[in-house]
Structure 1
Amino acid sequence: MKALVKTKRFADSLFFGHIILEKIIKAYAVSIIKEPAPRIHDLERLANIAKLKLTELEINLLINVNEFNLRSRYPDFKLDFCKLATKDYCEDYLKDIIKLYKKLCQNLKLKK
C-alpha cells in the first residue's frame, strides 16, 4: 500500500487497504466457524461472522473502507473515486487501516 502511495496510486492503495482488512477478518471468521471463509467482501458482515469486538470507530472504519472495494472495482465509480482519493485522504485512511490491521493481527496471535 505504501509503495502505491509513493507512486500516487491512491485509489489502488485504498483498495488494497480493503483487501488486507478482509483477509485478516476472514482469518478470524475461519477460526470461529471452522469452515472456509464466506465468499463475501463486506467487512462489517465478516466482522459479525467472526464475532469481533470492535469499537464504534472501528465499525465505522469498516463501513467506509467497504466503499473502496466497490469504487475501485467498477468503472462507473472508479473515476470519481480517483478524484476523491487525494494523498491526504489516502494517508488518513491508511493510518487507521494499518492500526486496525495490527490490532487484529496481534489479537489473532494471542488467540492461538
Structure 2
Amino acid sequence: MKKAITYWRDEAKEALQVSEHLFEKRDYSYALFFGHLAVEKILKALYVAKKNEQAPPIHNLVRLAEAAEIALEEPRKDALIKITTFNLEARYPDETRSFRKKCTEDFTRAELENITEVFQWLSRLIP
C-alpha cells in the first residue's frame, strides 16, 4: 500500500500546483476545482495509509474524511463542505455561470489559502 500512498500524495501535490498555476493565469473557477482535487487526493492518501486498502471512488470530501475515520471538528467539516462545492460548481455550471462570476481574484485567493491550510493539515496526518 506504500506505493498507493505515494501515488495519491504525489497526485495531490501536483493538483495543488496546477491550482496555483491556474490562479496565476486568472482561470479562477478551475483553480478552485483543482484545489478540490488536491484535497480529495490527499484525503485518499490518508485513507489508504489508515485503512490499508484502496480509496473509494468518491468526490465528497466529508464522506471521504469520515470513511478514513478522521475526526472532524465543525470548522474543518465546514471547510470540506465548501471545498466540495468547487468540484460541483466548476464541473456543472448553471446557465448563468454564477460560480464563475463569483470567482473573483480576491475570492479565489482567499479560498486557495483555505484549501492550502486544509491540505497541509491533512498531509500532517499521514503517518
Q: 1:78 to 1:67 in 2, by over 3 A?
A: farther
Deviation at 1:75? Answer: 4.0
1:106 counterpart residue number: 124
1:45 counterpart residue number: 63
Identity of aligned residues (%): 37
Q: How does 1:1-112 map to 2 (within 5 A)?
A: 1-76=19-94, 79-108=97-126, 111=127
Number of paired residues? Answer: 109
- Which segments of 5 or more consecutive residues in structure 2 lack a partner in the other structure? 1-18
**Alpha-carbon distance in 2 for matches of 1:31, 1:78:** 41
Question: Normalised by the size of structure 2, how large is the TM-score?
Answer: 0.79
2:6 counterpart residue number: none
For residues 31-66 of structure 1, the C-alpha deviation after alignment (integer angstroms, 9 at most, x for no partner) is 233221101100000000111123321110100111
Deviation at 1:77? Answer: 6.2
Supply the AA of the counterpart residue of 2:47.
A
Q: 1:17 to 1:30 in 2, by over 3 A?
A: same
4+ runs deviating over 6 angstroms: none
Deviation at 1:78? Answer: 7.9
**Alpha-carbon distance in 2 for matches of 1:31, 1:92:** 30
Question: Normalised by the size of structure 1, how large is the TM-score?
Answer: 0.88
- Which segments of 5 or more consecutive residues in structure 1 lack a partner in the other structure? none
**Alpha-carbon distance in 2 for matches of 1:78, 1:34:** 43
CA contact (8 A) 1:71 1:77 kept: no
Q: Secondary structure at the match of 1:90?
A: helix
Report the RMSD for the aligned CA atoms in angstroms: 1.6
Supply the AA of the counterpart residue of 2:27.
R
CA contact (8 A) 2:93 2:99 kept: no
**Alpha-carbon distance in 1 for matches of 2:95, 2:80:** 19
